[in-house]
A and B are shown apart, each in its own frame.
Chain A
Amino acid sequence: MTLLKSEFKSLFRGLVLWTGILALILIIVMAFFPFMKAGVLADLIEVNRSVFPMPLLALFGLARVPIFSNVTIYFAFVMQYFNVAVVIYASLRGAASLNKEERDGTITYLYAQPITRSGIVAEKMAANFWAYGMLVMILWALALILALIFSTGSQAVWEMLFQVSQIYLGTFVIGIIFMALGFFFSAIIANLWKARTVAIALVLGTYLMGVISSLADAVEFLKVLSPLNLFDPSRIIARGIDLRDLSLWGGMVIIVVIMTFVSYSKKDFKIT
């Protein structure tokens, strides 16, 4: 528990910063809803469809722009971008968690204490999951408030809050997946920047895979490899969270977490 507390303390400043920035962006973007609900964006895209090729529109999530008839549809549209930012936070946190001690030389203090390597991994994971959970919870609470503020009344309140909550559950799941992958990279790649680069490349790579999967039926199977696509907010409000996808990626997270424990317990620490 000592490491968990000190790790959380060290994460706290970054958590406040990220939460503040994301909350501000969410507020600003949601404030545009009254102007967007009449289908302004959809019309704009429709008019310019010939100018922008479909792959480009798909890349930016504009292949199919819905009419924002209620706030949750608009919120789901906004959240597809927002999710990328949240997932980058989770991914960076994971990728910097274990190797940071080696880079900073603080591993010589930490591992001189009566703690096992598994203990280090477990407590660092717990602190990072806790920090990430707090970020998502705060943004979720803010989103509920914003949904109530900007509600048009065309949707039952409980339904609106339930859909927003489902979207955030999806966000939380995606972040956990990429954070777990980040942990693994931080266990096997001693260089912090390399680990972060690989983690971010994976986020963007799987996002692109999701985009490609939406362009042609022949490559639709690729969407399974893209958590950002599988737990896409618009998809969630249309069909809910697919339990099969959740189980698949849940299993993947468990495997990656086990691999992290095993790799970390066998590695030679690089001490400068």
Chain B
Amino acid sequence: MKIIETVHLTKNYGQTLALKNVNLLVEEGEIYGLVGPIGAGKSTLIKLLLNFIFPNIGHATIFELNCAKNSAKIKKKVGYVPSDVHYSPDVTAGELLKTTLAFHRIQSEASMLSLYEALEIESTRPWVELSISDQKKIGIACAMVHEPRLLILDDPGKGLDPAAKRQVFELLREANQKGTSIFLASNSLTEIQDYCTRVALLKEGRVIRIEDLTKVRKKVKIVELWGEAFDFRDLEILGGRMLNVTEKSVKFSYEGDVEKLLKTLSMMTLKDVTIKNASLEDEFLDYYEGGHGSDTLEIGI
């Protein structure tokens, strides 16, 4: 089943283009990541999905229902965690979670109690007395207390201390294993790499690349060579794509036969060499810092 689908989704804020012709498809059971620099349009996309704002062109659906027309119906099965969580200063976690259950007309408090335990939430302290990390955990608990089919998270790790981050992502993974689809936007490439099955890379409001993290990254190697002089013809034979070239070093990505790579390298005069699997960070930096500028991008080599 299509959990999220966006079709030619475009949003302008006055003269400023926030999102341009975004087409995405999130399938049931996925943990789908959205990555991009600040201002790339991640939060705008989430706001459109949740009907906080309206698109100028195109439309979005969740559970195959139009987001702008069926918002309340959709939100019965959706949990949302904003980047910054805000509530009234005197409200407690207990009151908030009970209010959330009341909105969803859920009588049982079982899920609330299990979230208290899993996230070590203090239910009686007023919001204003809580740390940012505890506030964020309560925001996440509010999004999960009604056991949604889809979780939409905008920078879920923001504000969380390392221990809380581990707790939260463990909880998210468990929820995903039970069938909850997850759509998360993040600036943290580690979060995306560690937890997502697919990722869309956003740049200046456009999706510049969609990648299946379960397949692609394992095949792409990042090779860095140090030496006095390089014969680029050897590298051309390999088919590597240059990422960085200086007088004494060459960095390139390689997707191909490892034996061929090693054989080629063994024939070169090198001072040092490193070969590692391409991380999302490598690709992210490659795409955002200069490697690619067009809308149609290839993977790796």
Contact = CB atoms under 8 A, between A and B. Distances in A.
Q: Is the interface of B mostly helix, strand, loop or mixed?
A: mixed
A114 to B, nearest CB: 4
Interface stretch (B33-41, B49-57, B182-190): B49-57
Interface string B63-78: 0000000011101101
Interface in B95-142: 96, 99-100, 102-104, 139, 142
A20 interface: no
Given A113-B100, A114-B75, A115-B103, A268 B54 contact: yes
Nearest to A2: B102
Nearest to A101: B86
Contacts of A2: 99, 102-103
Nearest to A111: B52
Interface residues of A, number: 23
B79 interface: yes
Contact of A109 (B51, B73, B86, B102): B86
Interface string A30-62: 000000000000000000000000000000000
Nearest 10 CB-CB pairings of A with B: A105-B86, A113-B103, A112-B80, A268-B53, A108-B82, A2-B102, A114-B76, A114-B75, A269-B52, A116-B72
A111 B51 contact: yes
Contact of A106 (B52, B79, B88, B103): B88
Interface string A113-130: 111110100000000000
Contacts of B75: 112-115
B72 A119 contact: yes
Nearest to B53: A268
A52 B80 CA distance: 63
Contacts of A109: 82, 85-87, 96, 139, 142
Interface of B: 47, 50-54, 71-73, 75-76, 78-80, 82, 84-88, 96, 99-100, 102-104, 139, 142-143
A114 B72 contact: yes
Nearest to A266: B54
A112 B85 CA distance: 12
A268 B52 contact: yes
Interface in A41-88: none
Nearest to B154: A108
Nearest to A10: B88
A152 interface: no
A107 interface: yes
Given A106-B88, A112-B78, A112-B80, 4 more contacts: A2-B99, A106-B87, A108-B85, A115-B103
